[in-house]
């Protein structure tokens, strides 16, 4: 009886591991094949620009809004904490470093996941269900080259640009609350940023945002491309894409931070 139970448990764990390892392998092949197709002519310049417009430009509003309030709340929290130590002058560096190192890349990537990532999964998933992806195949047009690769490139370029906007808007949001509302000296706000922020902080932020851009576009494209052929399957794929992208962003952020520090 006990032996049977142990065997069943081993079987279950084994099956779970086998399915997940196979899935990870398929994901890796998916992204490598997409980049390999990107290197082949024709270059999908127009497709990349269209996707940059969708992933990047159309996410600008929500990113600016999030960034402004993130910067403002950081300044509010930071001001009252720093005041206890009489260090209000360091508010600028506290806001800027939090933004550039962590909050900018992570929050911008999460907002892109919610706004553009879910839409990418839904769009590709519907194309799969309505046989539009099969139609591309039958016309001898590779779907990875035509459909997926431009989205991956747009994610790689678009997310870092959005993060840059996020950082700047966030710092100005902090300025609005810290300097204009709470009365921190403007000179010390900017001066503390200038003296505290180093190139390696900016470089780390850029590195993070590039990798997050890849994670979002990769996971969301993959989940849409392999969606099950039903409305329920598409719903599940979209949810999984958003959840998995968000979780992977946070996990990868931890490992990248520990490497960069």
- Under the rule (CB under 8 A), what is the footprint of other proteins? 42, 126-127, 130-132, 134-135, 137-142, 146
For other proteins, the closer of residues 52 and 94 by Cβ is: 52
For other proteins, the closer of residues 8 and 130 by Cβ is: 130
Give CA torsion, residues 104, 105, 110, 116, to 10 deg: 100
Cβ atoms of residues 241 and 118 within 8 Å: yes
Nearest distance in Å: CB 35, other proteins: 15
Cβ atoms of residues 124 and 225 within 8 Å: yes
Cα 56 from Cα 117, distance rounded (Å): 11
Cα 126 from Cα 177, distance rounded (Å): 45
115: left (phi over 0), alpha (psi -120 to 50) or beta: alpha
Nearest distance in Å: CB 228, other proteins: 11
For other proteins, the closer of residues 127 and 154 by Cβ is: 127
Candidates 101, 81, 123; CA nearest to 225 is: 123
Nearest distance in Å: CB 142, other proteins: 7
Candidates 168, 191, 187; CA nearest to 179 is: 187
For other proteins, the closer of residues 42 and 86 by Cβ is: 42
For other proteins, the closer of residues 28 and 243 by Cβ is: 28
Counting Cβ atoms within 10 Å, is residue 129 exposed (0-12), middle (13-18) or buried (19+)?
middle
Nearest distance in Å: CB 207, other proteins: 33
Give me the phi and psi of 40, to 5 degrees please: -90, 145
For other proteins, the closer of residues 20 and 130 by Cβ is: 130
Nearest distance in Å: CB 19, other proteins: 15
Cα 54 from Cα 65, distance rounded (Å): 18
Identify the DSSP state of 58. Answer: G
Cα 206 from Cα 104, distance rounded (Å): 10
- What angle separates helix 199-225 from helix 104-112, to the nearest 10 degrees? 20
For other proteins, the closer of residues 193 and 221 by Cβ is: 221
Nearest distance in Å: CB 32, other proteins: 13
Nearest distance in Å: CB 147, other proteins: 10
């Amino acid at each position: 009886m006990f032996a049977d139970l142990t065997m069943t448990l081993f079987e279950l764990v084994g099956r779970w591991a086998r399915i997940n390892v196979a899935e990870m392998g398929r994901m890796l092949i998916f992204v490598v094949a997409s980049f390999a197709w990107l290197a082949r002519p024709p270059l999908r310049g127009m497709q990349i620009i269209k996707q940059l417009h969708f992933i990047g430009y159309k996410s600008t509003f929500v990113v600016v809004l999030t960034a402004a309030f993130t910067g403002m709340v950081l300044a509010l929290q930071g001001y009252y904490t720093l005041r206890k130590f009489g260090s209000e002058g360091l508010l600028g560096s506290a806001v800027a470093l939090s933004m550039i190192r962590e909050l900018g890349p992570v929050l911008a990537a999460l907002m892109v996941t919610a706004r553009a990532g879910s839409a990418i999964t839904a769009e590709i998933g519907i194309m799969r269900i309505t046989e539009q992806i099969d139609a591309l195949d039958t016309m001898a047009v590779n779907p990875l080259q035509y459909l997926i690769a431009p989205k991956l490139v747009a994610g790689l370029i678009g997310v870092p640009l959005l993060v840059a906007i996020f950082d700047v808007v966030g710092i100005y949001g902090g300025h609005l609350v810290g300097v204009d509302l709470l009365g921190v000296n403007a000179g010390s706000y900017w001066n503390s940023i200038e003296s505290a922020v180093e190139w390696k902080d900016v470089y780390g932020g850029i590195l993070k945002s590039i990798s997050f851009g890849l994670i979002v576009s990769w996971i969301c494209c993959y989940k849409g491309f392999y969606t099950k052929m039903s409305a329920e399957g598409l719903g599940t794929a979209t949810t999984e894409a958003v959840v998995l992208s968000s979780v992977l962003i946070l996990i990868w952020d931890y490992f990248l931070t520990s490497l960069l520090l």
